[in-house]
Structure 1
Amino acid sequence: MEFIELILINKLDGVILKYPHSENVDGTVCITGHHLILSSRKEGVRELWLLHKNIDNIEKKENKPSGNVSQGGSLFLKCKDLRIFQLDIASTTELNLLAQTLENLSNLQDPSFFYPFFYRHMHPIVENGYTLYSLEGEFTKVLATEEWRVSRVNNNYTVCNSYGKVVIVPKSIDDETLTVAATFRQGGRFPVLSYRHTNGAVLVRAGQPLYGPKHRRCRPDEAILNTVVAVGTKGVIYDLRSSNSISQQQNKGGGTESNSNYSQWKIYNRSMDDVDNQQQLLDSYSKLIEACNDREISSDKWISKLESCGWPESVRNSLHTACIIAQHIHHKVEAVLIHGTHGLDATLIVSSLVQIILSPDCRTIRGLQALIEREWLQAGHPFGSRHRCGPYSSSQSQAQCQIRPAPTFTLFLDCVRQFLEQFPCSFEYRQSFLITLFEHAYASQFGTFLCDNEQERESRGVYQQTTSIWSWINQPDELTAYINPLYDPTPGVIWPSVAPMSYVIWEELYLRWLVEQHTEEREEQYRLIRTREQQLRAQAQQLRRELFDVAHQYYAPEGKADVICDK
């Protein structure tokens, strides 16, 4: 296939671009294989370069004809980065040709036709982002403990197609045991090390056990988990599903660990069905953006609409679950295994947030990059499929996807944004870094977030033929834009508040295209006010957390898993 076959019209004059809080632009539209480019003859007006992959939905509205004269109409381009463009076109024929062309180009499925394979970086690459964060390098201290080892049992991706080639497993467990244990876990996702805390407690993640209605047992899987637990202690398994979801999965061959076979583990349920259900999460995200776009609604009704969409609750639920698990690791020095059904969504959000709570390294720019590499890219989160549709996509577009789309990574970034709001001095990066990750995860010139797993990226030549986003971000000139000037490293653990009143809508992302931009003076005043407000809030929260830690040591009931951090 050639791009020329999909482009029915490649140039169109006299197009009017309408965009909120901006003057209308009378210009020329040019269509390339990857971009819609709109340029104006008027000096000082910037060109619009829009990646076709960024287009989420195209709505066409034809003007009513006057007699037998065609009156043209408008195209509304709704984008995954939440922008909405209106293009007014004088001719109905040209309107239809442009709409069909954009439909063709925005719905390409083969990653080899995407822009990262055609993009060439203009400046020399100082470091290769694809080789920057190897598991061996990230777990150097862990591997030095003689308790864990690097396994290449999945070197050919035959044991688990969503894992990378390298995983960290207990040193006493051989590869043959791992291979058998993989047959007992959903998608072959046998238990692997995610994080080891400074006190020695570990976080392990996996897919659900294929327990089934016949109560299947797998001794190699039990051996892996029992090796993780210290002698004389018990570990904790958190199944991130409701009892109803577990029962449904058991009828399909799945389920959860049994107390009799995993006697060295305490088993709890912590429902995150709102996150692991991709359709429910996408619907929640769509309702959030719909509420943000509603300019006619009163403030009271808007707040009600925001809360009822379900997105704030998913953010709080993710943070709360991470706090509970972090407390097992930090306060009780207990090994923790987490899993949902497939281990690709809620599991990865929780494992990532736990590390942000416990590890100061994850609060740095390179630390967050390494975290995303370990817990998302190398762990097999299907970015390509999850980001195929955005909040404006039609149900028909969603139904055409073999793997359901969902804004799981966006939810994770929103959770990190809540940390930045509550601890404005504890993070090296500012929220502009998170927004950049959000944008490039959906549509980018870089190949980092292409495809669904490491195996697919390798087979399609992503690592050889595209540029990593880390190679670009880590350039000194680019990096300065993301550094938090208030950064004062917090060496220990940070506990976020998960009370409903603590949730702050991410207006800099969800509302950034809908409100009028401030002048430079007003922006500076606004920033100073916000900075002072955040400093005072951080001081108050730090005092509250210090009191909470003292209270936790003396009053938290022994054996109680659900210790709430929102007092």
Structure 2
Amino acid sequence: MEFSEHIKTANVENVVLTRPFHPPMKGTLCLTGHHLLLSGRDGESSAQLLLLLRNVDAIEKRTTGSSGTITIKCKDLCVLQLDIPGMEECLNIASSIEVLSSLEDVTEMYPFFYRPSNLSLLDQWGLSSPEQDFEHIQTLTDRWRLTQVNRDYSVCPSYPPALIVPGSIDDETLAKAAKFRQGGRFPVLAYYHSKSGKVIMRSSQPLTGANRKRCKEDELLLQAVIDGSELGYIIDTRSQQLAHQLRMTGGGFESKSSYRSWKRLHNNLERGKVLQESLIKLTEACSDQSHNMDRWLSKLENSKWLSHVNNTLSAAGLVAECVERQGCSVLVHGSEGTDATLLLTTLAQLILEPRCRTLRGFLALLEREWVQAGHPFQQRCAHSAHSHARLKHEAPSFLLLLDCVWQLGRQFPLALEFGEALLLQLAQDAYASNYGTFLCNSDRERCALGVKEKTHCLLQFLSSPSEKERFTNPMFQPTELAIWPSVQPQSLQLWRGLFFRWTQDAQYLEEAREEIRNLVMQSRGRGCGRSMAPLETDGSMTPSRVVDC
């Protein structure tokens, strides 16, 4: 396809742009296959707009007489307005943006064309691999092995080719167990806890159905995870009622009689349409200009976004507690095992594992638990909060994860090596990016389209020395202790840096954070200032008192 086919009007003069933090700007509007550009006419070369069209979530057009106005609502929640002289030009530009912002062919998206001078396609793609993770585990135990049973993606289309499984289970058993799990997502290792030797596994639901079918291979696989005398926990991210309903349509859950060494706990987490509607309602509340406190609080409560944050952190804390305090291994799953399951396995590792709290370690964690593990980014992040399209598979699961991580960072300001700037960058790139990391829905799709050979890796770029400084938390002090999140109402706050990112208040907050950063760096450079060691109690970290700027 030629992009020019969809560009009816490529250039328009005397367009006026209105956007947050800037005075109105008049200039020349230029539309390309992937970007909307506006160059100012005030003599300053820096006065310009470069908007990636993939970032456009919805547009509204209005014509009056011989001119028109286009309101562009972006996936990063920014809202822009273009006043365009000429009704025909306005309609043409709007039509072109609508088409070019919703291209379905992945190979036509901008990451396949992005070629910065400081990056090479020959650079390493990614920060981690199952092979590297297994090498680390080998230094701790010999009970696990690396299997290539999925090397051609025939056992599980959404898993990577290599997986870590119990050493006593052969590939034939794994293949049969996969047929008993939705989408072939049989239980695999997500995390090995070096202190206790216990693990966190993840999978999809078992296909027991109404007849309560059994699979001896699946039972053997889970039995191999724990010794016969031990107890393991299955954390089902659905309500007990929903799990029973899904059994009538072919899904189900592990029965007590077949999995005697495992205790099943239901911890319901919303997903899919419910999460998407929650984000939409929250965004609408944040854009309410009425300045009525009662109305604002009512809308915030009705969105239920903070309830989702609360429930997710509570469930992740439960997973971590089973491993750290109960000394038990855990299997996490819901139905498909690609959303709520990954939320819990990721956050539990962040709570327990110091390596995951470094900048590089956190990015590697996201790559392992979301990119490689088969979170369908292409489907989930097709639209954000402004689009009028309500696609079946959309859900801000990854955005919810980043919000939960922000809550942890706020409660433990010294524990994470990375700061809010990294989370905001990830939130933006998940929906629209120059990089190929979040393209497609699985490793299989990325392999088929040559994503790793033809695009640059976002995670590799964010962890590079040239970028690391702007994402690093200057107050970071590593600790080997677990960081247990508080989910009390007073402990959770709305992530203003994201949801109020384009308001005037957010600009002042960013300036205050930068000033604090400079003061901390100056203090450390002089070797003065008090030690900022975390509060330690009974082998864990508790949330410190945080003062917002």
TM-score > 0.5, shorter chain as reference: yes
Aligned-partner residue type, residue 438 of structure 2: F
Residue 441 (structure 2) pairs with residue 440 (structure 1): no
Q: 1:204 aligns with which of 201, 205, 212?
A: 201
After TM superposition, the structure 1 = structure 2 runs for residues 261-340 of structure 1, keeping only pairs within 5 Å, are 261-272=258-269, 274=270, 276=271, 278-340=272-334
Residue 51 (structure 2) pairs with residue 62 (structure 1): no
Quote the Cα distance in structure 2 between the aligned partners of 1:501 and 1:520: 23
Q: Deviations over 1:228-282 (max 9, x none)?
A: 112311111111101221122111100111111111111111111x1x3x11101
- Does the aligned pair in 1 maintain the 2:58–2:73 contact within 8 Å? yes
Other-structure match for 2:547: none
Other-structure match for 1:136: 131
- Does the aligned pair in 2 maintain the 1:429–1:482 contact within 8 Å? yes
After TM superposition, the structure 1 = structure 2 runs for residues 311-460 of structure 1, keeping only pairs within 5 Å, are 311-394=305-388, 397-399=389-391, 404-460=393-449
Aligned-partner residue type, residue 508 of structure 2: H
After TM superposition, the structure 1 = structure 2 runs for residues 90-105 of structure 1, keeping only pairs within 5 Å, are 90-105=85-100
22-31 or 139-148, larger mean C-alpha shift: 139-148
Quote the Cα distance in structure 2 between the aligned partners of 1:291 and 1:100: 29
Gaps of 5+ in 2: 522-530, 543-549
1:521 CA drift (Å) = 7.2
Q: Deviations over 1:276-295 (max 9, x none)?
A: 3x111010011111111112
- Does the aligned pair in 2 maintain the 1:152–1:165 contact within 8 Å? yes
Q: Deviations over 1:99-120 (max 9, x none)?
A: 1010110111110000010111
Q: SS of 2:217's equivalent?
A: helix
Other-structure match for 2:52: 51
- Does the aligned pair in 1 maintain the 2:228–2:261 contact within 8 Å? no
* Cα RMSD (Å): 2.3
- Does the aligned pair in 1 maintain the 2:474–2:517 contact within 8 Å? no
Q: May I ask how many residue pairs the two structures share in their alignment?
A: 529
Q: SS of 2:482's equivalent?
A: coil
Quote the Cα distance in structure 1 between the aligned partners of 2:73 and 2:99: 15
Distance 1:126 1:159, change over 3 A: closer
The normalised TM-score by structure 1 is: 0.89
Q: SS of 1:518's equivalent?
A: helix
- Does the aligned pair in 1 maintain the 2:414–2:478 contact within 8 Å? yes
Distance 1:237 1:518, change over 3 A: closer
1:88 CA drift (Å) = 0.8
Distance 1:540 1:422, change over 3 A: farther
Residue 70 (structure 2) pairs with residue 75 (structure 1): yes
- % of aligned pairs identical? 42
- Does the aligned pair in 2 maintain the 1:29–1:37 contact within 8 Å? yes
Other-structure match for 2:156: 160
Aligned-partner residue type, residue 50 of structure 1: L
Other-structure match for 1:28: 28
- Does the aligned pair in 2 maintain the 1:54–1:80 contact within 8 Å? yes
Other-structure match for 1:188: 184
Quote the Cα distance in structure 2 between the aligned partners of 1:523 and 1:150: 44
Other-structure match for 1:483: 472
Aligned-partner residue type, residue 415 of structure 1: C
Other-structure match for 2:224: 227
Other-structure match for 1:562: none
Distance 1:539 1:522, change over 3 A: closer
- Does the aligned pair in 2 maintain the 1:129–1:470 contact within 8 Å? no
Quote the Cα distance in structure 2 between the aligned partners of 1:433 and 1:168: 29
1:547 CA drift (Å) = 9.8
Aligned-partner residue type, residue 239 of structure 2: S
1:352 CA drift (Å) = 0.2
Q: SS of 2:80's equivalent?
A: strand
- Does the aligned pair in 2 maintain the 1:389–1:405 contact within 8 Å? yes
Q: 1:178 aligns with which of 151, 174, 179?
A: 174
176-185 or 513-522, larger mean C-alpha shift: 513-522
Quote the Cα distance in structure 2 between the aligned partners of 1:122 and 1:30: 23
1:224 CA drift (Å) = 0.2
Quote the Cα distance in structure 2 between the aligned partners of 1:521 and 1:354: 32
Aligned-partner residue type, residue 150 of structure 2: N
Quote the Cα distance in structure 2 between the aligned partners of 1:326 and 1:480: 30
Quote the Cα distance in structure 1 between the aligned partners of 2:469 and 2:453: 28
Quote the Cα distance in structure 1 between the aligned partners of 2:259 and 2:90: 64
Q: SS of 1:381's equivalent?
A: coil
Q: SS of 1:432's equivalent?
A: helix
Quote the Cα distance in structure 1 between the aligned partners of 2:27 and 2:223: 67
Quote the Cα distance in structure 2 between the aligned partners of 1:385 and 1:530: 41
- Does the aligned pair in 2 maintain the 1:422–1:541 contact within 8 Å? no
- Does the aligned pair in 2 maintain the 1:127–1:471 contact within 8 Å? no
